[in-house]
Amino acid sequence: MRFKVGDRVIENGMGHGTVMAVYDRKGNYAIEFDKNIGGHDCNGLTKGGYGWYCLERDLTSTNPTIGNSRLEFKWV
């Protein structure tokens, strides 16, 4: 699985959202989108109308990364 709960993602047709659950081992995720997409609530995992199950191949991460590691910032 490429994404974890809490990761921010983009689905090209629906916009920005947050991974709320890894739905199964086939790469399906419950995504809560930032706006009402006319979806559903992913069986109570998202707000009504904001949820949709998406395939991993249709999602792009918005988290800043280098390789497979997330960047960490320290203000000095």
Q: What pLDDT shows up at residue 47?
A: 97
Q: Is 73 helix (H, G, I), strand (E, B) or coil?
A: coil
**Are 51 and 40 within 8 A, CB to CB?**
yes
Cα–Cα nearest to 34, from 9, 14, 16: 16
Round to whole Å and give the CA distance between 46 and 50.
6
- Give the tens place of pLDDT for each residue, 27-76: 899 999 999 999 999 999 999 999 999 999 999 998 765 445 555 556 76
| DSSP single-letter state for residue 37 | -
CA 10 to chain centre: 7
- This prediction has a pTM of 0.80
Q: pLDDT-based confidence at 10, cuts 50/70/90?
A: very high
